[in-house]
Amino acid sequence: MPNTPMVAVFDTAFHQTMPEKAYLYGIPYEYYEKYKVRRYGFHGTSHSYVSKRTAEFLGRPYESLKTVVCHLGNGSSISAVLNGKSVDTSMGLTPLEGLVMGTRSGDIDPGVMQFIMHKENLDIDQMLNILNKKSGVYGMSGVSSDFRDVENAANDGNKKAEVALDSFAYRVAKYVALTQPLWAVWTPLLLRQAWERTTRLPERKYASTWHFWVFRWTTKPMASGDRKSESPPLIPRLRCWLFQRTRSWPSPGKHWH
């Protein structure tokens, strides 16, 4: 297509505003100096777009808004967006860091890798293949990386599937809770992907403490026209929004009041 304009968009670009305290690892600084080993983050186009659209829906300047964006699905990540800039995110040098995902393990003690490699006689490439493609809810449940399949298995009494869903939900809540010191004026967002046709995950009790209750906002999936919904006001001054990913962004859907 010689006459077609080509555009390159870097998935990590949005997170380049993270401060050093957020993107540096607790390893010798020389590896950052020599190889730029640091946290880069991913899903930047998604986190940027959702946070900007939220400012429009709220009728507030993007540069004055504080949001926690949860991009949830087979690949999942969370970001904290302060005054229009990403200040932290759950993924790191690679997409493997952070949440439990469809086939990715998320955060893991590196010592676990060494232990399994010695026991199973694996090299590093084999180990990373397991962590990237055979772990997450798929590896934990032994069923699938599709949350609908895992939910069906859990409903049929599959204990491993039940635990896999609980682990996914718990890790999401755990990461959002890391922003708790700023929560008085932060707006958590969920990009609806992991549970597009699932009823189980939104109902899960992520924890008993107050700051996780914000996730318990619906008992059934949104109808096809309800692309954006606001959570019930369970916490004073805390507004929570749920977005369903589509090719085009329609007008706002129903709200809770």
Tell me the pairing of strands 77-82 and 85-89: antiparallel
C-alpha 219/C-alpha 159 separation (Å) is: 22
Tell me the pairing of strands 228-230 and 66-71: unpaired
C-alpha 14/C-alpha 92 separation (Å) is: 13
Q: Indicate which residues carry an active-site annotation.
A: 11
- In order of start, what are the domains of the chain with their CATH numbers? 13-100+172-244 (3.30.420)
pLDDT at 176: 84
pLDDT at 189: 59
Q: State both tokens at 187.
A: 């707006």
pLDDT at 24: 98
Q: Rg (Cα) of the chain, in Å, rounded?
A: 19
Whole-structure pTM value: 0.78
pLDDT at 14: 96
Segment 53-61 long-range contacts (CB within 8 Å, at least 24 positions apart): 53/243, 53/249, 54/187, 54/189, 54/241, 57/228, 57/241, 57/252, 58/187, 58/239
C-alpha 252/C-alpha 256 separation (Å) is: 12
Tokens 């694996």: give the residue: 122
pLDDT at 177: 79
Q: Tens-of-pLDDT digits for all 257 residues of the chain?
A: 889 999 888 999 999 999 999 999 999 999 999 999 999 999 999 999 988 988 888 888 999 888 888 898 899 999 999 889 999 999 999 999 999 999 999 999 999 999 999 999 999 999 999 999 999 999 999 999 999 899 999 999 999 999 999 999 889 888 887 776 554 445 555 554 444 444 455 444 333 333 333 333 333 444 444 445 554 444 444 566 666 554 444 333 333 32
C-alpha 201/C-alpha 203 separation (Å) is: 5
pLDDT at 50: 87
238 contacts: CB under 8 Å, gap ≥ 6: 183, 184, 186, 187, 188, 214
